[in-house]
Structure 1
Amino acid sequence: MWEFLQHLSYWDWLALGTVLLILEVFGAGGYLLWLGVAAAAVGVLTLLFPALPWTWQLPLFGVLSILSAVLWWQRQRHARAPSAQPGLNRRGQELLGRQFVLHEAISGGRGKIKAGDTLWLVTGPDLPVGSAVRVIDQDGVLLKIEPA
C-alpha cells in the first residue's frame, strides 16, 4: 500500500474519477459526481506537475471534493427562484374556489363534477344533479366541495 501511494500517477486519479462518474450514472443522486470531478482535476494537476507528492495529492482531492460540492450546493440553493406558474403540474389546484354544476349526484358522500373536458370525483354533502357547488379543497384525485 505504501508503495502504491508513493507512486500515484495521473492515470490512477483519472481512473478513479472515471469509476466514480460511472457509478454516478447508476443512480448515486449527485453524490459521486463531484468526487469524480475532483479526482479528474487532481489527475490533470498530477499530469501538469508530475513531481507532486502523494502527501499533497490526497489533501488536494479532499479539498477539491468539498469545494466543488459546496459551490454546487450554493448555486442550486440560489437558483430556486419562485415559479411564475406555482400550480403547474398540480392538477386540481386551479379549481380551488371555483364553482361548478354537479354532473352526477352526490350520494354516500361521493359524486362527480365536470371541469372543462374532465370529470372529477368529489366528496361532500349529498346533493342532486345540477346543484351548484364550490371546490374548497383537494385530497389527491378527490375534490372536496360545498354547496355554492
Structure 2
Amino acid sequence: MNLEEHAGFIWLIVAALLAITELLVPGVYLTFVALGSAATGVLALLFPELGLVGQLISFAAWSTVAVLIGKRWYNTNPIPSADPDLNNRAARMIGQSVTVVEPLVGGSGRVRVGDGEWPAQGPDLAAGERARIVEVRGGVVMVEAVKAISID
C-alpha cells in the first residue's frame, strides 16, 4: 500500500478523529485543526501531485485560517454565560463583606477574604471591623466601611 496514494483519505480520517476528540474533550481548539486537516484531505484528493511538503504547508495554512476565523467569530459573538466572572477572581470579590485582621491605618492594612488574608486600602478601620470590597487593584483590595445596623 502506497501512503501517497491514500494521503487524502488519511487527512480526512485524521480530521474525523480530531472532531471526535473535540466532542469527547470539549475545548473548541481541535475543531479548527480538524477543519485544516479536512481541507488538506480534499486538496490531496483533488491534487495528488501535491506531495507531503505541500500537504503540510496546506494543513498549517488552513488550520491557521480556521483558527483566525474562529477567533474573530467568538470575539464578535461571545457565548452568554450565567456567571461571566467565573474565572475572574478579582471581579468575584467585589461586593463581598470582609473582616479587618490588621487595622487599616493611614489607608493600608489587611483583611480576611474567604480563608486568606489580602492587603487592603481604604478608610481607617480597627481590627475586627467589617468592610466591603469595592475594587481590586493589582492584588490589593479597596474597601469601604460597612455601617453597623442598630436595632432600637
**Into which bin does the TM-score normalised by the smaller protein fall?**
0.5 to 0.7
**Structure 1 residue 107: Cα displacement:** 2.4
Corresponding position of 2:43: 42
**Structure 1 residue 74: Cα displacement:** 8.4
Measure, in 2, the Cα distance between the counterparts of 1:122 and 1:143: 5
**Structure 1 residue 102: Cα displacement:** 0.6
Corresponding position of 1:119: 117
1:8-63 Cα offsets, whole Å, 9 max, x none, are xxx5xx6xxx9xxxxxxxxxx99xx566654443112224xx8xxxxxxxxxx7xx
**Structure 1 residue 111: Cα displacement:** 1.2
Identity %: 28
Where has structure 1 moved over 4 Å in runs of 4 or more?
Answer: 33-37
Measure, in 1, the Cα distance between the counterparts of 2:125 and 2:142: 13
Corresponding position of 1:87: 85
Corresponding position of 1:73: 70
Measure, in 2, the Cα distance between the counterparts of 1:116 and 1:72: 41
Corresponding position of 2:16: none
Number of residue pairs the alignment of both structures matches: 110
Residues 81, 131 of structure 1: alpha-carbon distance in 2 compared, 3 angstrom cutoff:
same
Q: Secondary structure at the match of 1:84?
A: coil
Give the unaligned 5+ runs of structure 2. 12-28, 50-57, 147-152
**Structure 1 residue 72: Cα displacement:** 5.0
Map residues 1-148 of structure 1 onto 2, 5 A cutoff: 38-47=39-48, 65=62, 69=66, 72-73=69-70, 76-77=73-74, 80-148=78-146
Measure, in 1, the Cα distance between the counterparts of 2:71 and 2:144: 45
Larger radius of gyration between Structure 1 and Structure 2? 1
Measure, in 2, the Cα distance between the counterparts of 1:102 and 1:145: 10
Q: Secondary structure at the match of 1:104?
A: strand
Residues 70, 93 of structure 1: alpha-carbon distance in 2 compared, 3 angstrom cutoff:
closer
Instruction: Tell me how large the CA RMSD over aligned residues is.
Output: 4.1
Residues 129, 70 of structure 1: alpha-carbon distance in 2 compared, 3 angstrom cutoff:
closer
Q: Which amino acid aligns with 1:42?
A: L
Measure, in 1, the Cα distance between the counterparts of 2:71 and 2:123: 49
Q: Secondary structure at the match of 2:47?
A: helix
